[in-house]
Structure 1
Amino acid sequence: MTRYLGGLAQDFKALCSYAFWRTKHMAEFVDELATPTNMIFGDSGAHTARTMGLHLTLEDYAAWCRRWDRQLTLYANLDVIGGPEATWRNQKELEDVHGLEPIPVFHTGDPWNYLERYLDEGYTYIALGKLLGNPVKEVLPWLAKAFRIAGGRAVFHGFGMTVWRALREFPFYSVDSSTWGSGFRFGVIKLFDPATGTWTNLRMRDRAALLQHRDLVRAHHISPLSLATHTTYNRTDATVLAAVAWRRAEEYIRARHGPIEIPPGPHNPVTRGGPQPAPPGLHLYLAEATTTKLYRAAAGIQAARQEANTP
């Protein structure tokens, strides 16, 4: 009998960047997800837009956030990398002019007094950006200082923060992964084993490795046969396996740190003044530029739920 290892109970979570999703109908997207409950993080995608040569305006981004307010669990400020004062001004304009409640963003390389300013202004949920591309040996002490300055007054979201050592060490409220589905494009699948809290890289069509790890593959609700050869390879199965692995890792980290609550304060980008409390973290959002992978992942997770619950 196959031993399933969890990772299916929580809401399906996706991060959708405005740079890629600005022309998509978010209500239709959410309605068509196979999973019944979903959490959607709206990111401005400002850094991506700059690398793509796209010009994003604060007014257009504000209109997008307002239009899809019901579908977005939260949305981030339109941040300016290397411009902490401009980022601060955008935060205040989105609030004061457009009536929005975005999560503020503080970047590596910004002066620490800007983080202290957000804390002094009562922001209790702050996103940390520009983490990608920095050596781990530099990111870890920077994160340690950020958590030390916050001192329990705020919790953090880590943009692109899937450095396993950092997730084990620091109690993030939320993070997102843009690499969750990239491995199988290069012929490698990452499996997570909650019994050991470790990852295993499995090269597809490596029969010896598939034989060695067949039980762990099956525990991800996938048949090893779908990864065994070019003929049997199933792209949907590979997508589902990647999504389940990261959800399982999310569940493991949540158990490791315990429930992470957003401290009370005047700014809450999740509740936005509503009566419902923000669900405790950790929350791991799957970042993706297209609908296809997210539809596949949600459908596969829902099917796995049903399979796991079938006697």
Structure 2
Amino acid sequence: MSTPQPFKALTSYAYFRTPIFAPFLEELHVGPTQVFGDSGAHSARTLGITLTVEDYAAWCHQHDRRLTLYANLDVIGAPEATWRNQKRLEQEHGLEPIPVFHTGEPWHWLERYLDEGYTYIALGKLLGNPLPDVLTWLDKVFRIADGRAVFHGFGLTVDRALREFPFYSVDSSTWTAGFRFGIIRLFDNATGRWVTLLQRDRQALLQHRDLIRHHHANPLAFASKATQDNTAAAVTAAVAWRRFEAYIRARHGPIAIPPGPHNAVTRNGAQAAPGLHLYLAESTTTNLRRAAGGVRTLQQEARA
């Protein structure tokens, strides 16, 4: 009997700083769950929201019991400000956030985090860069760390990057793109490849009906506007990404956080489960509820 993986979600302070978040967290934790708390600094800039260290620290403290980990309040393009926020959250607020290092920043900042004993570091500002540049940058990151740290990739679910580099964790909102735009993405364990088809493409739905059922969905849920089922679409997407996570985890083997003085996961005496961990990022409770329902089905399968 295999050990079921928890449901894994990334929730941003920028979106979940309202009173509804606490009961929603409790709801998620009805079953095995890991929740990555992010400041949502990039989203806040897009939305015109001002975030402060004090407010973010209060949010992390409020939900500390239910957050598996939380990230620093990073400042893209200002590594010194990001470092200061890291130290303020630690020294002034008694928190243990995961630090963030961005593409384009001087390499000595990564070295500084490593020398200070940070063994789990998030990598940011990966989106929007040409893939060859990202792969070259990641290659240098992993070479500099050389086993001293493991990494989280913010917004990184690029197939090739995850196959090449042994990330401890990643997150992405890419899983929502399919059902938001009428696309179905399925992961075929047998081939280790993604299968993409359009909703209402009856020929494709017929061709891949067994794979769709393997993702706990009825092909009829995608056959027409009349039968369209948004819950089924979210469940299918969540299950597909969970199967991809399992495939990549098996490819690299278990990835453990090296011991060190700073560990965002074990701050409360918790155990840090070996990676890979793929967190589903989303700004709405509705789709996270739907995704959790799909993953719960996989957990039941694993126990059977």
Q: TM-score, normalised by structure 2?
A: 0.96
In structure 2, distance between residues paired with 1:72 and 1:96: 20
Residues 254 and 56 of structure 1, relative CA distance in 2, 3 Å threshold: same
CA contact (8 A) 1:34 1:302 kept: no
Q: State which drifts further: 298-307 or 234-243.
A: 298-307
In structure 1, distance between residues paired with 2:29 and 2:230: 18
In structure 1, distance between residues paired with 2:144 and 2:298: 41
Aligned to 1:10: 5
Letter in 1 for 2:274: P
How big is the shift at 1:111? Answer: 0.3
Partner secondary structure for residue 175 of structure 2? coil
In structure 2, distance between residues paired with 1:190 and 1:249: 11
1:206 to 201, 213, 222: 201
Partner secondary structure for residue 147 of structure 1? helix
Letter in 1 for 2:283: A
CA contact (8 A) 2:7 2:296 kept: no
2:216 to 221, 229, 235: 221
Letter in 2 for 1:155: V
2:104 to 98, 101, 109: 109
Letter in 2 for 1:297: A
Aligned to 1:129: 124
How big is the shift at 1:26? Answer: 3.3
Q: State which drifts further: 89-98 or 301-310.
A: 301-310
How big is the shift at 1:35? Answer: 5.4
For 1:253-264, list aligned pairs within 5 A.
253-264=248-259
Partner secondary structure for residue 20 of structure 1? coil
How big is the shift at 1:25? Answer: 3.6
Aligned to 2:180: 185
Aligned to 1:247: 242
Aligned to 1:287: 281
Residues 201 and 92 of structure 1, relative CA distance in 2, 3 Å threshold: same
Letter in 2 for 1:295: R
In structure 2, distance between residues paired with 1:8 and 1:295: 22
1:38 to 21, 33, 41: 33
Aligned to 1:3: none
Aligned to 2:21: 26
Aligned to 1:140: 135
Letter in 1 for 2:277: H
Residues 121 and 308 of structure 1, relative CA distance in 2, 3 Å threshold: closer
How big is the shift at 1:233? Answer: 1.0
Residues 152 and 212 of structure 1, relative CA distance in 2, 3 Å threshold: same
Residues 307 and 150 of structure 1, relative CA distance in 2, 3 Å threshold: closer
Aligned to 1:4: none
Post-superposition CA distance 1:207-259 (Å, at most 9, x none): 11011111110110111111111111110000000000000000000000000
How big is the shift at 1:184? Answer: 1.5
Aligned to 2:56: 61
Identity of aligned residues (%): 70
For 1:140-159, list aligned pairs within 5 A.
140-159=135-154
Partner secondary structure for residue 40 of structure 1? strand
Post-superposition CA distance 1:236-287 (Å, at most 9, x none): 0000000000000000000000000000000000011x33321100000000
How big is the shift at 1:105? Answer: 0.1
Post-superposition CA distance 1:155-197 (Å, at most 9, x none): 0000000110000000000000111112121111110011111
2:165 to 156, 167, 170: 170
In structure 1, distance between residues paired with 2:28 and 2:90: 30
Q: State which drifts further: 165-174 or 222-231.
A: 222-231
CA contact (8 A) 2:89 2:96 kept: yes
How big is the shift at 1:300? Answer: 2.9
Letter in 2 for 1:100: L
CA contact (8 A) 2:96 2:263 kept: yes
CA contact (8 A) 2:6 2:299 kept: no
Residues 201 and 35 of structure 1, relative CA distance in 2, 3 Å threshold: farther
Partner secondary structure for residue 185 of structure 2? strand
CA contact (8 A) 1:260 1:281 kept: yes
CA contact (8 A) 1:33 1:299 kept: no
Q: Which runs of 5+ in 2 are unaligned?
A: none
In structure 1, distance between residues paired with 2:301 and 2:221: 17
Letter in 1 for 2:107: W
